[in-house]
Chain A
Amino acid sequence: MRFPVTALFPTLAAAPALLAGAAAATELTMSVQIPRLDVSEYHRPYLAVWLEGQDGTALGNLAVWYELRKQGPEGGTKYLKDMRQWWRRIGRETDLPIDGVSGATRPAGEHAVSLNPDAPPFAGLKPGTYEVVVEAAREVGGREVLRLPLVWPPAATQTVGARGTSELGAVSLTLKP
């Protein structure tokens, strides 16, 4: 089976093009629940979602929600390092903002994370086992990290979920071939 190498992928050789083509049919849906907390001083959490290989190498950012409009010269980027694991794995190498990835902090509730299977890091992703990592850190609050393992590309519909205990509620990811 061959897929056309379109102008969108002019530099891709045949094999990655095949994967990119395979991925194109894939559907990814993800949701993240930010818990409602009864605290005297509440700030919306900073939240990062990224993809990791089995060896812990970060392969790309999927979402970075932070305070965009914060007053002061550094904006809200001063607190990005509080998402410690994200910061160490990929955040400190990341130039923000990123179109389609970074955005404003979200209130308590369930939120969709838009994942594009045709864009990096999923486009051209080699078959294998990966983890989607979700980290939330809240000013005058705590920090929590959840990991969702996945097999790429999905052979059948896969749904993986995890539930946080403090800074994150239910987190779920569905992959449809």
Chain B
Amino acid sequence: MRSLRLIAALAILLPLPAEAHRAWMLPSSTILSGEDGWATFDTAVSNDLFVFEHVPMRLDGLIVTGPDGNAVKAENATTGKFRSSFDLHLVRAGTYRASVANEFLFANYKLNGETKRWRGRVENFEREIPREAQDLKLTQSFQRTETFVTLGKPNTAALAPTGKGLELRADTHPNNLAAGETARFTLLLDGVPAPGIEVEIVRGGARYRDKPGEMRMKSGSDGSIAVTWPEAGMYWLGAEMQDDKASLPKARRRATYNATFEVLPQ
């Protein structure tokens, strides 16, 4: 049952072609003051940012990290027709990271002349793919979709990279962004700075503009990117890479990273 559910989740997480939709997680607010606070998050996969118009993001891989670096429980998690939502009670000051992170294996193969597709966990691969499978093509996929919220004074314990897949090292704190300023981030692949990664940045609300106005850039030789925010708003950042350096032999590796940042007026 579990693998069936995962397959269903994957069908949603990875619409093909991959570029067609964007996975995103939108917080109700990113900067809170007071003794405690609440934030609610919507997460979905869609073309328009940040509009629920396609499919919800499944919450199977949801992890919220608190200001001390430990996991915090998300509350009221629900998945609807167009979006999933959950709430977070921020009871201690500092920065929280909410992520949906998943690792899957995709297999394409032929069996008795018939083309088959399989999606699942790496550990189930040997058991679930028949030995007689021919023309086996494997893609190991890492996906991370996240956002950041701070109560009181920001800190960085929750931002520590996991070392798996594509991630962003926040050289500029993700809850300290203002219009007209330049933020610096470093793309990491398996925890190591990754040069030449294509990054796309889109401000939300494109449905009310004639031109979406994406910013596109590639990470530099040290994996870094510099983003000058043209105006205040909620921004989506997406990065994706593919190569043949998967941990499984002869497999392709694909990694995607999506984050939402709030940029405030000066």
Contact = CB atoms under 8 A, between A and B. Distances in A.
The answer to whether A and B interact is: yes
Interface of A: 73-75, 77-81, 84-85, 87-88, 91-93
B35 A77 contact: yes
A88 B37 contact: no
A78 B37 contact: yes
Interface string B81-107: 000000000000000000000000000
Contact of A80 (B33, B36, B264): B33
A80 B34 contact: yes
Contacts of A81: 31-33
Contacts of A78: 32-34, 37
Contacts of A77: 33-35
Interface of B: 31-37, 152-154, 176, 178, 264-266
A51 B158 CA distance: 32
The majority secondary structure among interface residues of chain A is helix
Given A75-B35, A80-B33, A80-B34, 8 more contacts: A73-B35, A73-B36, A74-B36, A78-B37, A87-B33, A88-B264, A92-B152, A92-B154
User: Which residue among B34, B36, B178 has the maximum number of chain A CB atoms within 10 Å of its CB?
Assistant: B34
Given A78-B37, A81-B32, A88-B176, A93 B266 contact: no
A86 to B, nearest CB: 11
A84 B264 CA distance: 8
Contacts of A74: 34-37
Nearest to B266: A85
A93 B33 contact: no
